[in-house]
């Protein structure tokens, strides 16, 4: 730090703190220089800098003064964010949506990033295509076709910062083309309805039963779009039944501009059979598909993807100028191309399956009244228990963080009370202990 | 790929291609199994899978048929994105906004990322604070205070994917609290007005003259916010005059809820003197500050930051759930903390200064009619020439990509015609040759 910078800093601080009130004349540059034992030129420059910034006002033939409109207080810190509040002591965190962060393939990721940073051409460091890096979009087309039965071309893929960033892009594009009402699952992921509202659209709850979203009365609800999690509904864990898949597509095709938004939530994890293919593969003309690496690799990567009908792809890409870091995109492309993502999925599927089995066994042993519903998939189990709400409250005070199904209901209170038990982040012995603790509450 | 997966794939492809029309009965599982020489169980499973996905319809006692609502065409590719169109041959790219991508500190970045991937705790791989990684926000508070005179606390910083992602966040928060009209610079960066419009607000052009944004008639325009580039106005290259800085702050404080949005565009690069400090430092209560690493490191990093008044920080953080990859954030934090960013700025400032000098010298030698205006700063020069538009057109057909000032004007045609010459991406000899080519057109 130069002498001049220090003089500027001290003056700014004094003015900001109120020690130098607005309008106060400053010592002459000559006097201050003598006081500080520096050359006069340094003080002249510091005064000029602060005058250019508006802290000081200089007038020919008059002393330099503190500016007159600097009456602001100290910066305040604002309200503490909910997420940064110190949590109560949680010994076992069974909340949903938490993958096994310890399973993140650090070595493979570090290798991929290092190779990209070393070898990517300079052009890859520029703003880039708003749809995302071509290499990643090509890798995703092949991967999603193989793993999820999705039908895509690179032009119809838009890389985004996870599903939470991708859904608003789709919704804003819908809003721009005149959509107004969007069906959301009830019970469902609250973020669906919130994103719909933030995009200036009206969320309309649509009931979910044991065969998934109830589609037989969509027509009379005057919807422009429907958001759905067909492969493993959140939170009920059911799969959208085949005839409903067909009916949903038929609804979308019955009038121009209708869209189904498929949130392919944790669809890579199915333990009793092959995962159900994406709805998008059945009707790429009317389904917008959203997937991400948040559950399969790590949420912190902020890497997701949309596969869109052509008209929507262009509109969404235009809104996506913010984009996703290219180096991360290229690293993911390398992971996909080398088959490392598929191997990682295979490994984690084994891990999660063992965790789910341990959790279900622990429930049978310690909490036999609990009835496990939903298919063997994803990262959480739905356990029906009569007193779910009271149990969850009591569990929390014993250090077991757990949610209830009803937290995710909007207008459908007919669902039997149930606990949602996320098992992604806990090894088997911890799950066993957590359930024992839960049963003892 | 298993036999079963291959059967499914072949059937999906045939249905999609129309070779198997809707309603077509399929061979019995027994017959197909015999045909293919596989066990019947494999075919049963494949049919069941495709039925679950909606491709096939099974009914007890009747043959399995192709679903009846599968009448979609082949996926089309959509319109080609403008950016992916092959460009005309460009020998010298003098467009603005292009930093020297070859200067990106690859080794330092690779080191920082590798260290983070190796050492970050598992918790850093989770969703994280919507404001951004605490380590980066702390590093930015210190860095921006030192380099830009900005006043911040970590609670008031929100990390975003570059300025293009940050400005919409601020604008949406303004809209949510009832703002309607936002002043944008004219001439100005088109993205300002576009972002205002996309957020559902009305952009109101405000004239820019030789002393920057003209602030004396803001009051009568009924504005809720004003977007401004005080340190180095884009595209004119002028600096907002001290009395206008004060007047802008006074305007903002004259009524509750008013906001100045400071886009601190390429402010780190000033060659004739120290950069003017951020307006935000003068009035952190009414100025929202936006900066990024796009010009100083690389656009592809998609790393930027907002410093906000407290009420706005909370609202913006809530909308920012999409966030920015944590590993990149932590890598940038490490670069800032170790002083590597400051050293990089010092190095690139020397590079760009030499390039600017070479460009200005080449203009004097080859195009003496051109008058260079604006301060010695940033990554482009404004050169007034009477026939700027015709010159730019002719230059393009000779392989020199160059923009005119008028491209960025909305309602202010009183600016003299001028070329905008970006020198960030070209070494001195190339700049000299480009100007010679331009003069010869």
In the stretch 384-423 of chain A, residues with CB closer than 8 A to chain B read: none
Any residues with CB less than 8 A from the CB of B214 and at least 6 apart, and which?
B206, B207, B208, B244
- Band (A230; pLDDT cuts 50, 70, 90): very high
pLDDT at residue A223 tops 60: yes
Tell me if B52 and A314 make a contact (CB, 8 A cut-off).
Answer: no
Tell me, yes or no, if A41 comes closer than 8 A to chain B by beta carbon. Answer: no
- List CB contacts (< 8 A) between A282 and chain B: 53-55, 70
Tell me, yes or no, if B427 comes closer than 8 A to chain A by beta carbon. Answer: no
Average pLDDT over residues A404-421: 85
Per-residue pLDDT tens digits for B257-287: 999 999 998 889 999 988 889 999 999 999 9
How far apart (Å, rounded) are the C-alpha atoms in residues B194 and B410?
12
Provide the pLDDT for residue A80. Answer: 27
Tell me, yes or no, if A272 comes closer than 8 A to chain B by beta carbon. Answer: no
pLDDT at residue A3 tops 60: yes
Tell me if B104 and A110 make a contact (CB, 8 A cut-off).
Answer: no
- Band (B69; pLDDT cuts 50, 70, 90): low
H/E stretch holding B291:
strand B287-292
Average pLDDT over residues B87-116: 89
- List CB contacts (< 8 A) between A51 and chain B: 242
Query: CB burial class (10 A; 0-12, 13-18, 19+) of residue B213?
Result: buried
- Band (B137; pLDDT cuts 50, 70, 90): very high
Query: CB burial class (10 A; 0-12, 13-18, 19+) of residue A214?
Result: middle
Higher pLDDT, B233 or B35: B233
pLDDT at residue A235 tops 80: yes
Q: Which of A53, A280, A328 to mutate to test the interface with B (most CBs of B within 10 A)?
A: A53
pLDDT at residue B87 tops 60: no
Tell me if B69 and A246 make a contact (CB, 8 A cut-off).
Answer: yes
H/E stretch holding B260:
strand B259-263
Provide the pLDDT for residue A15. Answer: 82
- Band (A55; pLDDT cuts 50, 70, 90): confident
pLDDT at residue B411 tops 90: no
- List CB contacts (< 8 A) between B57 and chain A: 242-243, 246
Residue A191: closest CA among A115, A105, A99, A96: A96
Query: Nearest residue on chain A to B114, judged by CA atoms?
Result: A110
Angstroms from A415 CA to nearest CA on chain B: 24
Angstroms from B6 CA to nearest CA on chain A: 10
Tell me if A300 and B80 make a contact (CB, 8 A cut-off).
Answer: no
- Band (A101; pLDDT cuts 50, 70, 90): very high
Tell me if B51 and A285 make a contact (CB, 8 A cut-off).
Answer: no
Provide the pLDDT for residue A437. Answer: 93
Tell me if B72 and A277 make a contact (CB, 8 A cut-off).
Answer: no
Tell me, yes or no, if B315 comes closer than 8 A to chain A by beta carbon. Answer: no
Provide the pLDDT for residue A322. Answer: 64
Tell me if A122 and B129 make a contact (CB, 8 A cut-off).
Answer: no
Q: A303 with A297: CB under 8 angstroms?
A: yes
Average pLDDT over residues B62-75: 62
- Band (A305; pLDDT cuts 50, 70, 90): very high
- Band (A171; pLDDT cuts 50, 70, 90): very high
pLDDT at residue A245 tops 70: yes
Q: B330 with B133: CB under 8 angstroms?
A: yes
How far apart (Å, rounded) are the C-alpha atoms in residues B184 and B188?
7
Angstroms from A151 CA to nearest CA on chain B: 8
- Bridge partners, B95 (sequence order): none
- Band (B88; pLDDT cuts 50, 70, 90): low
How far apart (Å, rounded) are the C-alpha atoms in residues B187 and B409?
4
How far apart (Å, rounded) are the C-alpha atoms in residues A370 and A209?
19
| Among B79, B125, B281, beta carbon nearest to A300 | B125
- Cα separations in angstroms, A343 against A246, A337, A340, A363, B148: 32, 11, 5, 31, 47
A212-213/A202-209 β-pairing:
antiparallel
Query: Nearest residue on chain B to A274, judged by CA atoms?
Result: B49
Angstroms from B284 CA to nearest CA on chain A: 7
Angstroms from A136 CA to nearest CA on chain B: 14
Mean pLDDT of chain B: 89
pLDDT at residue A86 tops 50: no
3-state secondary structure chain A: CCHHHHHHHHHHHHHHHCCCCCCCECCCHHHHHHHHCCCHHHHHHHHHHHHHHCCEECCCCCCCEECCCCCCCCCCCCCCCHHHCCCCCCCEECCCCCCCHHHCCHHHHHHHHHHHHHHCCHHHHCCCCCCCCHHHHHHHHHHHHHHHCCCCCHHHEEEECCHHHHHHHHHHHHHHCCCCEEEEEECCCHHHHHHHHHCCCEEEEEEEECCEECCCCCHHHCCCEEEECCCCCCCCCCCCCHHHHHHHHHHHHCCCCCEEEEECCCCCCECCCCCCCCHHHCCCCCEEEEEECCCCCCHHHCCEEEECCHHHHHHHHHHCCCCCCHHHHHHHHHHHHCCHHHHHHHHHHHHHHHHHHHHHHHHHHHCCCCEEECCCECCEEEEECCCHHHHHHHHHHCCEECEEHHHHCCCCCCCCCEEEEECCCCCHHHHHHHHHHHHHC
In the stretch 278-297 of chain A, residues with CB closer than 8 A to chain B read: 279, 281-285, 294
Average pLDDT over residues A296-324: 89
Average pLDDT over residues B14-23: 77
Angstroms from A20 CA to nearest CA on chain B: 14
- List CB contacts (< 8 A) between B156 and chain A: 75, 77-78
- List CB contacts (< 8 A) between B319 and chain A: 198
| Gyration radius (Cα) of chain A, Å | 28
What are φ and ψ of residue B43, in 5° steps?
Answer: -70, -40
Per-residue pLDDT tens digits for A246-271: 999 999 999 999 999 999 988 899 99
Angstroms from A439 CA to nearest CA on chain B: 28
Cβ atoms < 10 Å from Cβ of A198: 17
Query: Nearest residue on chain B to A318, judged by CA atoms?
Result: B81
The two three-digit tokens of residue B111, written as one number: 């080191």
Tell me if A83 and B129 make a contact (CB, 8 A cut-off).
Answer: yes
Q: What share of chain B is helix, strand, coil (3-state, %, to 5)?
A: 45, 15, 40
Cβ atoms < 10 Å from Cβ of B373: 17
- b/e for A221-252, b at 16 or more Cβ within 10 A? eebbbbbbbbbbbbbbbbbbbbebbbbbbebb
Angstroms from A300 CA to nearest CA on chain B: 5
Average pLDDT over residues B317-327: 82
How far apart (Å, rounded) are the C-alpha atoms in residues A238 and A232?
6
Provide the pLDDT for residue B211. Answer: 95
pLDDT at residue B391 tops 50: yes
Provide the pLDDT for residue B4. Answer: 85
Q: Which stretches does DSSP call E strand in B313-426?
A: 371-373, 380-384, 400-401, 403-404, 418-422
Least confident of A184-188, B105-109, B169-173, B191-195: B191-195
How far apart (Å, rounded) are the C-alpha atoms in residues B177 and B350?
44
Sheet holding A181-186, edge to edge: A157-160, A304-307, A287-292, A259-263, A225-228, A181-186, A202-209, A212-213
Cβ atoms < 10 Å from Cβ of A203: 21
How far apart (Å, rounded) are the C-alpha atoms in residues B185 and B175?
19
A403-404/A418-422 β-pairing:
antiparallel
Provide the pLDDT for residue B412. Answer: 62
H/E stretch holding B64:
strand B62-66
Angstroms from A273 CA to nearest CA on chain B: 9
| Among B125, B161, B282, beta carbon nearest to A101 | B125
| Among B109, B125, B128, beta carbon nearest to A104 | B125
Most confident of A1-10, B141-150, B321-330, B407-416: B141-150
- List CB contacts (< 8 A) between B249 and chain A: 54, 69
Cβ atoms < 10 Å from Cβ of B82: 10
Average pLDDT over residues A214-233: 95
How far apart (Å, rounded) are the C-alpha atoms in residues B45 and B6?
12
| Among A273, A276, A284, beta carbon nearest to B53 | A276
What are φ and ψ of residue B305, in 5° steps?
Answer: -150, 150
Tell me if A78 and B314 make a contact (CB, 8 A cut-off).
Answer: yes
Provide the pLDDT for residue B72. Answer: 38
The pTM score is 0.83
Average pLDDT over residues B62-86: 48
In the stretch 322-351 of chain A, residues with CB closer than 8 A to chain B read: 322-328
pLDDT at residue B414 tops 60: yes
B28 DSSP 8-state letter: P
Angstroms from A407 CA to nearest CA on chain B: 20
- Band (B406; pLDDT cuts 50, 70, 90): confident
Residue A285: closest CA among A154, A180, A151, A174: A151
- List CB contacts (< 8 A) between B128 and chain A: 299-300
- List CB contacts (< 8 A) between A328 and chain B: 325, 327-328
Percent of chain A predicted with pLDDT > 90: 67
For B134, half-sphere exposure in the C-beta direction (CA atoms, 13 angstrom radius) is 8
What are φ and ψ of residue A280, in 5° steps?
Answer: -55, -35
Percent of chain B predicted with pLDDT > 90: 67
**Contacts A–B by Cβ distance under 8 A:** 272
> Is this complex scored with an ipTM above 0.85?
no
B377 DSSP 8-state letter: B
In the stretch 92-121 of chain B, residues with CB closer than 8 A to chain A read: 98, 101-102, 104, 106, 109-110, 113-114, 117-118
């Amino acid at each position: 730090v130069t002498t001049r910078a220090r003089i500027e800093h001290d003056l700014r601080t004094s003015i900001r703190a109120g020690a130098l009130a607005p309008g106060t004349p400053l010592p002459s540059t000559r006097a201050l220089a003598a006081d500080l034992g520096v050359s006069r030129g340094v003080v002249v420059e510091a005064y000029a800098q602060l005058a250019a910034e508006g802290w000081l006002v200089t007038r020919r033939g008059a002393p330099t003064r503190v500016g007159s409109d600097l009456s602001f207080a100290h910066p305040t810190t604002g309200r503490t964010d909910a997420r940064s509040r110190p949590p109560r002591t949680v010994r076992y965190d069974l909340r949903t949506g938490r993958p096994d962060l310890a399973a993140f393939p650090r070595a493979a990721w570090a290798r991929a990033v290092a190779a990209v940073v070393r070898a990517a051409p300079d052009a890859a460091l520029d703003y880039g295509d708003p749809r995302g890096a071509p290499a990643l979009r090509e890798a995703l087309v092949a991967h999603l076709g193989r793993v999820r039965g999705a039908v895509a071309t690179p032009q119809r893929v838009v890389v985004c910062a996870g599903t939470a960033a991708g859904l608003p892009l789709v919704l804003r594009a819908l809003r721009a083309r005149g959509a107004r009402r969007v069906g959301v699952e009830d019970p469902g992921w609250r973020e669906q309805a919130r994103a719909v509202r933030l995009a200036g659209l009206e969320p309309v709850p649509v009931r979910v039963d044991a065969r998934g979203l109830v589609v037989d009365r969509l027509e009379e609800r005057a919807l422009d779009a429907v958001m759905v999690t067909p492969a493993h509904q959140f939170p009920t864990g059911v799969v959208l039944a085949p005839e409903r898949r067909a009916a949903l597509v038929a609804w979308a095709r019955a009038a121009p501009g209708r869209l189904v938004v498929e949130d392919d939530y944790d669809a890579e994890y199915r333990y009793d059979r092959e995962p159900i293919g994406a709805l998008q593969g059945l009707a790429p003309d009317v389904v917008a598909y959203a997937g991400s690496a948040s559950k399969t690799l790590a949420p912190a990567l902020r890497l997701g993807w949309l596969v869109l009908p052509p008209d929507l792809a262009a509109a969404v890409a235009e809104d996506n100028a913010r984009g996703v870091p290219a180096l991360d995109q290229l690293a993911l492309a390398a992971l996909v191309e080398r088959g490392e993502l598929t191997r990682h999925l295979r490994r984690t599927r084994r891990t999660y399956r063992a965790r789910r089995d341990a959790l279900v066994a622990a429930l049978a042993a310690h909490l036999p009244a609990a009835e496990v519903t939903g298919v063997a998939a994803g990262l959480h189990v739905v356990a029906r228990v009569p007193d779910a709400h009271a149990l969850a409250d009591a569990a929390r005070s014993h250090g077991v963080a757990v949610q209830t199904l009803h937290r995710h209901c909007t207008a459908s209170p007919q669902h039997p009370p149930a606990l949602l038990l996320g098992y992604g982040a806990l090894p088997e012995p911890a799950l066993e202990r957590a359930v024992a603790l839960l049963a003892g509450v």
